[in-house]
Amino acid sequence: MEDNQTNWTPFPDDNLLGLIDKNQINEFEASGITNAELFVLELETDVEISTTLILEIHKIAFSKLYDWAGKWRKTEVSVGQLLPPKPTLVLQAMYQFLDNLNFKISISKTPAEHIECLVYAHYEFIKIHPFNNGNGRTGRILMNLVALKFGYQPLELYYREGESRKFYIDAMKAADNGNFKILTELISEELVSF
């Protein structure tokens, strides 16, 4: 999970537009995220969630600014207390995760099963951390694609500023230690059917 700065950005010269103003960079990122969210909203709900689809979502979100958009991570990272898979194992981990996720989606019938599936979709994706950056935002978009499949509205999970961000971080830290209660509650509270 990206530490407390969800809007963390590499050094200014690391973006394709040569932007150095952090607010401008954040605006471009926010615009890309909005485009990725719209892309997901327009998908058929029976679309299979695949590595190709995940790469496409990430590319739409970040390609205006970064050359790493839509490409698997090639560096080692640590996320909170967790060590995500080595770069050479990211693709294998994603295939395994998506097989499990698509299976869980296919058998989830009750609201409780839907919530469990949404928790799995978000948390496991973040745990793999398949991209250089933008994992949290892409993970939320993925979770919202699953929510749409079940007939729910997209969830916010947290806002960049304020208490909700800290609550989300605490929920993810608890999940890192095997306690999914807070994350489950967070998702349950936001779940609204169309």
Catalytic residues: 129
Q: At a CB cut-off of 8 Å and minimum separation 6, what does 45 contact?
A: 148, 149
51: closest CA among 93, 17, 20? 93
Chain position carrying tokens 């295939």 = 95
C-alpha span between 121 and 140 (Å, rounded): 9
N-to-C CA span, the chain: 29
* Side-chain half-sphere CA neighbours of 85 within 13 A: 19
Relative orientation angle of helices 181-190 and 111-128, to the nearest 10 degrees:
120
* Side-chain half-sphere CA neighbours of 57 within 13 A: 26
Instruction: Say whether 80 sits in a helix, a strand or coil.
Output: coil
